Amino acid sequence: HINKQTHKQKILLAEDDGSMRRFVEIILQRAGYDVSTAEDGLAAMQIALEKQFDAVIADAVMPNLTGFDLCRILRENPNYQNIPIIILSGFDNQGETNLADAYLLKGNNLKESLLETLSNFFAPEELVVC
C-alpha cells in the first residue's frame, strides 16, 4: 500500500459557528486534509502567521475580523498571496469576491461544492490540458 499523497494539504478553517465549524472540519478530515480551526477571523490570522497553509476557508461574517477582512490581510502577506482562499456564506451576497478564489453558499450541497472546489485547486498540474 503506497501513499501517493506524501504531503497532506493543510487547511485553515475560520468559522464562528461551532457546529458549522465542526461539520466542515469533519468533511475536510474525511477527505484527507490536515485541518486547523479558528473561532473567528482574528484567531485565524494569528494561526496563519504561525503556520503555513495550502488553503484558507473562512466564513464571510465573523466577530473581530470578517472572512473578507481576513482575506484582505492575508493577501498582503507574501506567504498567502497565491494560495486559494474560499469564503463560505449563508447569504447570496458575494461582497468583495475579487479577494477570494471561491465563494460558496452554506447550503445542502456545501460538502460537494467545497470538496470539488478544493480538488480543483489542488489538482496535479500535469493533468491540466492546455
pLDDT of residue 97: 55
Of the candidates 52, 61, 86, 91, which has an alpha carbon nearest to the alpha carbon of residue 71? 86
Mean pLDDT of 80-99: 80
Cβ 10 vs Cβ 53: under 8 Å = yes
Give mean pLDDT, residues 25-49.
96
pLDDT, tens digit, for every residue of 66-78? 999 999 999 999 9
Q: What confidence score (pLDDT) does residue 3 get?
A: 44
pLDDT number for residue 122: 87
Range 91-113 average pLDDT: 82
User: Considering only CA atoms, which of 40, 53, 44, 10 is closest in space to residue 28?
Assistant: 10
